[in-house]
Structure 1
Amino acid sequence: MSASEYDAELDARGLFCPEPVMMLHNRINDVEPGGVLRVVATDPSTTRDIPRFCQFLGHELVGRAESGDLFIYLIRRGT
């Protein structure tokens, strides 16, 4: 995922539930509606929590990947 694919980034490496989603809740507001936020996390619970966050708050999970112990998400902010 290159930097041209997203508008902002949240580095949540080393944080554990519920911190990554709490930080995501704040950081997504810094992104313009329709913009994409890249989230990098190491907590496996984000594989459950981030898709639910998007579903409940009207954001679109446009991409996700795992690389070793990293979980990477691309989230398009809803309106």
Structure 2
Amino acid sequence: MPDFPDSSLDATLDASGLNCPEPVMMLHNKVRDLPAGGLLKVIATDPSTRRDIPKFCNFLGHELLDQAEEAGSYLYWIRKKAD
């Protein structure tokens, strides 16, 4: 598991139970509310997020710090780009 304590997070997005394209749509809205350089943890259950979230980060310039799979959930740690 990545070493990002929950206390260092600016926000958490739980998209469990949602299917494409909802997790990425929610991610887009959540990232918009974060401060520049903010750290977001995303929890998802849709396997397509393994493809979609890295593409989202790459396309918009956010940094995908780490991703993991745990007990049927996909976890992502994303650093919002500095403005």
User: TM class, shorter-chain normalised?
Assistant: over 0.9
- Code of the residue aligned with 2:8 in structure 1: it is E
1-structure distance, mates of 2:78, 2:14: 14
TM-score, normalized by length of structure 2? 0.90
Specify which of 32, 36, 39 is matched with residue 33 of structure 1: 36
Q: Identity across aligned pairs (percent)?
A: 58
- Following superposition, which runs of at least 4 residues in structure 1 exceed 2 angstroms of deviation? none
Structure 1 residue 48: deviation in Å? 0.2
Compute the TM-score of the two structures, normalised by the length of structure 1. Answer: 0.95
CA distance in 1, matches of 2:48, 2:78: 17
Separation (CA, whole Å) in 2 of partners of 1:8 and 1:49: 20
> Structure 1: any 5+ residue segments left out of the alignment?
none
Match of 2:16 in 1: 13
- Residue segments in structure 2 that go unaligned for 5+ positions in a row: none
Distance in 1 between residues matched to 2:36 and 2:51, nearest whole Å = 23
